[in-house]
Structure 1
Amino acid sequence: MRVKSLTLRVLLLATVWSTVALLTIALAISALYRQSVERGFNSLLRAQLYNVVNSVSIDDDAGLIGSPSLGDLRFSQPLTGWYWLVEPLGNFSAAPLASTSLGTNNLDVPALVQQPFDQNYERFYEATDTAGNRIRIVETEIVLDEEGRAARFRVSGNLEVVEEEISFFTTRLNLALLVVGVGGLMINGLAIIYGLKPLDRARRGLERIRRGEAERIEGDFPSEIQPLANEINALIESNRRLVERARMQVGNLAHSLKTPIAVLLNEARTLGKTQGEVVTSQAQAMQAQVTSYLNRARIAAQRDSVLARADLLPVLERLTRVMRKLNTETEFVLDVSPDLVLAMEQQDIEEVVGNLLENAARFARTRVVTRAAYTQPPDPSQEGRKGWVEVLVEDDGPGLAPDEIGEALKRGRRLDESKPGTGLGLSIVKEIAVEYQGSFELSRAELGGLRARLVLPAVTKDTA
């Protein structure tokens, strides 16, 4: 699984690296310390060996004599693993000398092929005594007199001393490295959190832009993050210029067409009744078509803009107040959460919801209800891309049959000619909703009349 958090990624890598590094250090130091302890142990055995050599000689009866004093009580305690032994070699048949700790036992002698003497005529090897102690033995052979009589000198030490020393050191070393490792990870974590603080400030800056509280990312950022903030500000500025250019072009086109259409409408009044009505209706249809396509061009230019946003509740409250003044006999109910923010221009919200409220008020008997809440996207493929809000406008009028709903959404189609209107309202609502990648549908309302359902893009904290 991929780790999405930068902090966790860095901490994970730091933990793995620290663990490998500290284990390597622990193994290396332990190995070096073991070598040092073993060299010291061998040096101790060698010193004791030559102490024995210097203490033993041949007496007048051709026997071995001497009482080495090694200054260690373990050589006088039985089966401690600390022994010394002097044995005659060759034709020299004197009785051997041994430490009190060895008693009547003997020490095994490996073949020279297995363990040869070194350049100092010494050899070290390991064995197990009768008490089960692992011991290390140092051995040499010395000629004791002018007649060539020689003896084998051996001194042994218990390897348990070495292992205890190494174990004590390794325990302390591992504890120290553990403290260093944990402390290093904690410091790394604090350093990472502190180092990523500027990214959090940049995120809050973007959130302020999303909420409409700022127009650019402000603040002094580190050199690694400042280019990112500059590029985001440049992108926002470019987006703003794009929207402004589209609005200006839309305005210029609307202004250039306004006069010709007005001339056509004025000229239609001078014509006869039949021709005048035809010209007037066509000019009005042309005016509605121009307005519709200009709106679509404007929406397409700003649909993905980070600056297109508006609070839904104030817009609906203002539209509802207007409808209450115009329709005093109709009750308008508003049920909308105050935290809904649509990713749309305010005038487009007013256009779509205003058309729905006007249509509902035209056919309602006594009541119109407007609700809004978060919902699922109109297309499953849009899951996770942005938030979505469902806007419902219901009335208690006669409503529409299923086969009439499709006709009502056609441009210029009016099912009830007795009511005023051009037949363009619902088709404009659908076009604007589709341009914002939303949806629009009609159905039977619980109040008995028509139920209009809009799904529009919203701005949420999860999609910031």
Structure 2
Amino acid sequence: MLKPQSLTARVLLVSTIWAVAALVVIGVVISTLYRQGSERGFQDLLRAQLYNVINSVVVNDKSVLAGSPQLGDLRFSQPQTGWYWIVEPIGEFDTPTLMSTSLGNGKLPIPSVDEVPFDIRYERFYTTTDSFGNSVEVAETEVVLDIQGHTARFRVAGNRDVLESDINDFNRNLYLALSIFGFGGLGMNALAILFGLRPLDQARRSLEKIRAGESERLDGDFPREIQPLASEVNALIESNRRIIERARMQVGNLAHSLKTPIAVLINEARVLEAPHGDLVRNQADAMQMQVQSYLNRARIAAQRESVLARTEVEPALERLVRVMRRLHPDKNFEFSVSAPGLMLAMEQQDVEETIGNLLDNAARYAGAQVHIIAQPAPENVHGSDPGRRHWVTIDVEDDGPGLEPEQIAIAIKRGKRLDESKPGTGLGLSIVKEIAGEYHGKLGLSRAEIGGLRAQLILPGVS
């Protein structure tokens, strides 16, 4: 079952469903109660008219039914109205039937007593259809008229269309009133919910500012229900900051403590005779690079999940290209950033180290051109995306000789160099791959459109 991901939408949906269901139930209950009351009132009216007829009819001295009921309703005298009264002799009482002029030559089908029996008041009510197509409600009873035992059955019929019309009018007015009240209530309910959840929206915007690097705390005047959460988030951010600073300090101390012994080894290796001096110097250089690499990995592991690690791409590329143009004045460096304000969720020194290594490598092997292109990555560019939704691709291309597919696998191995004539330790691409991997990113090598090697970095971006 799909569930709304928005808390506001969820509360609005539940409250709307409840309000609509409550209004429907209220409407049905009120309509049912009104119908029951109207039907009882209609039957009471027919009962009153029935006893008016009973009081108006007698048996004269010729043992004949006589009387002319005046019920005060013109519908009993107008033809085919559905309002009738009938006095019918029963048993051995031989006399013509009396009836209202409204019935004329029409007939009123009567169900048997077995179908609709008399109640304890010796009355029965039933619905039938007259010969003119009117649905009528009939009130009926039997009365002994004199001491001789002359008995007659009295009936008064009323047109149910009047009752149904009254009920329908009431229902229309009821549902109209409930609809107006319901829409007004839903609107006020939505406003109340939106107003009540505004602090959560404010907290969300504050978190977005922290994620974008615009703020370091969850700031805002929150209600007491949300203030503890804001305080805990701020405490978590502060604790995270202290952990990062402590890790950086320890990494710096370790680097400082190792730098001097390694430097001594390198200096001592210079006075040793070849080939032993060269061997020691090369191993010390490699050790220095490896120590720096592992120190970088430890530092990145300490801060890669921090929401405060943010670097804007364009200024970082400008600084790197400026340095590369001074180091390689014979090469033409061009860079482009497709989206203004493009941000990486990485520390600045890690961004500069990864891209700087790729630029330096491209400059050493390029003929004359080095291109850098930064842009938001297309969807699903990261095949094993570990929960991130925003990625950035940075392509570094050169017009050099490039690499064959079988050479690419060798190039990114630690310490492997395909061209021994060029200076370096063979750790550049390996370091780039490790740093990118620590941020859950990727490094890929392929043929560039301008003829040489294309190194593509897929790095985490900021939404």
TM-score normalized by the length of structure 2: 0.91
Deviations along 1:182-230, one digit per CA (max 9) or x if unpaired, are: 2222222222322332222112111111111101111122334333333
- My pick for the range that moved more, 354-363 or 97-106, is 97-106
Equivalent residue letter for 1:131 = F
CA offset at residue 270 of structure 1? 4.6
Partner of 1:323: 324
Separation (CA, whole Å) in 1 of partners of 2:14 and 2:195: 18
**Cα 1:235–1:97, aligned 2, differ >3 Å: closer, same or farther?**
same
Partner of 1:352: 354
Is 1:42 matched with 2:46?
A: no
Equivalent residue letter for 1:345 = E
Contact 1:386 1:459 in 2 (8 A): no
**Cα 1:86–1:299, aligned 2, differ >3 Å: closer, same or farther?**
same
Is 1:340 matched with 2:342?
A: yes
Separation (CA, whole Å) in 2 of partners of 1:399 and 1:200: 51
Alignment of 1:267-346 (within 5 A): 267-337=268-338, 338-346=340-348
**Cα 1:104–1:424, aligned 2, differ >3 Å: closer, same or farther?**
closer
Any gaps of 5 or more consecutive residues in structure 2?
A: none
Contact 1:56 1:67 in 2 (8 A): yes
Equivalent residue letter for 2:31 = S
Alignment of 1:91-130 (within 5 A): 91-105=92-106, 107-130=108-131
CA offset at residue 109 of structure 1? 4.5
CA offset at residue 104 of structure 1? 4.8
Equivalent residue letter for 1:380 = G
1:428 maps to which of 411, 426, 431: 431
Deviations along 1:89-115, one digit per CA (max 9) or x if unpaired, are: 434323332222233555455433333
Equivalent residue letter for 1:97 = L
Partner of 2:458: 455
Equivalent residue letter for 2:200 = L
SS in 2 for 1:52: helix
Equivalent residue letter for 1:442 = L
Is 1:445 matched with 2:448?
A: yes
Partner of 1:32: 33
**Cα 1:287–1:72, aligned 2, differ >3 Å: closer, same or farther?**
same
Aligned length: 460
- My pick for the range that moved more, 189-198 or 399-408, is 399-408
Contact 2:110 2:128 in 1 (8 A): no
Contact 1:378 1:438 in 2 (8 A): no
Separation (CA, whole Å) in 2 of partners of 1:11 and 1:424: 57
Alignment of 1:4-403 (within 5 A): 4-105=5-106, 107-337=108-338, 338-376=340-378, 379-382=382-385, 385-403=388-406
Equivalent residue letter for 2:352 = E
SS in 2 for 1:441: strand
Contact 2:86 2:98 in 1 (8 A): yes
Separation (CA, whole Å) in 2 of partners of 1:449 and 1:91: 124
Separation (CA, whole Å) in 1 of partners of 2:196 and 2:72: 63
Any gaps of 5 or more consecutive residues in structure 1?
A: none
Contact 1:302 1:308 in 2 (8 A): yes
- My pick for the range that moved more, 220-229 or 320-329, is 220-229
Q: Superposition RMSD on alpha carbons, in Å? A: 2.4
Separation (CA, whole Å) in 2 of partners of 1:4 and 1:314: 37
CA offset at residue 402 of structure 1? 4.2
Deviations along 1:126-159, one digit per CA (max 9) or x if unpaired, are: 3222212222222223333333333332222111
Contact 1:324 1:330 in 2 (8 A): yes
**Cα 1:350–1:68, aligned 2, differ >3 Å: closer, same or farther?**
same
Separation (CA, whole Å) in 2 of partners of 1:320 and 1:224: 51
Equivalent residue letter for 1:360 = A
CA offset at residue 76 of structure 1? 1.1
Separation (CA, whole Å) in 1 of partners of 2:22 and 2:35: 20
Equivalent residue letter for 2:312 = D
**Cα 1:64–1:342, aligned 2, differ >3 Å: closer, same or farther?**
same
SS in 2 for 1:194: helix
Separation (CA, whole Å) in 2 of partners of 1:40 and 1:70: 17
Equivalent residue letter for 1:17 = W
Separation (CA, whole Å) in 1 of partners of 2:46 and 2:404: 110
Separation (CA, whole Å) in 1 of partners of 2:302 and 2:271: 40
Separation (CA, whole Å) in 1 of partners of 2:402 and 2:157: 109
- My pick for the range that moved more, 434-443 or 296-305, is 434-443
Separation (CA, whole Å) in 2 of partners of 1:268 and 1:386: 50
Equivalent residue letter for 2:399 = D
Separation (CA, whole Å) in 1 of partners of 2:45 and 2:249: 97
**Cα 1:51–1:197, aligned 2, differ >3 Å: closer, same or farther?**
same
Contact 2:243 2:302 in 1 (8 A): yes
- My pick for the range that moved more, 186-195 or 268-277, is 268-277
Separation (CA, whole Å) in 2 of partners of 1:125 and 1:262: 114
**Cα 1:422–1:64, aligned 2, differ >3 Å: closer, same or farther?**
closer
Contact 2:388 2:460 in 1 (8 A): no
